[in-house]
Amino acid sequence: METSDLSHPLLPELPHDVEARILEELPDRGEKVLACIRTAVTFLEQARQDKLGLRWSESAAYNLREAPEAVVVRRSPAEGDLPTVLARTLTFAA
């Protein structure tokens, strides 16, 4: 799916260079990050117009949490995973 396919004429767009950088840095997850951001923007716009008291803002917040989660999914926070990090930390503390 092309980035332009996710665009919506009523939504403010991310600068093209920001979108391109996200897709370059996250080739397998960039589209999800961009979709989460666009969804959050849509929900916030709905929240501004809502007269029924629906929870658009909470849905926007969820999508903003999902965007960075898509970046780190299935990635180790450090080489060797947690046991290695803890072992190094304990070694330095001793």
Give 86 or 16, the one with higher predicted confidence: 16
Cα separations in angstroms, 23 against 9, 47, 55, 70: 21, 28, 30, 12
Segment 23-49 shows an average pLDDT of: 89
- Please give the Cα distance from 28 to 71 (Å, whole number): 9
Q: Provide the token pair at 81.
A: 């995973």
Is the pLDDT reported for residue 41 higher than 70? yes
Q: What is the pTM of this model?
A: 0.59
Q: How would you classify residue 29: left for phi > 0, otherwise alpha for psi between -120 and 50, otherwise beta?
A: alpha
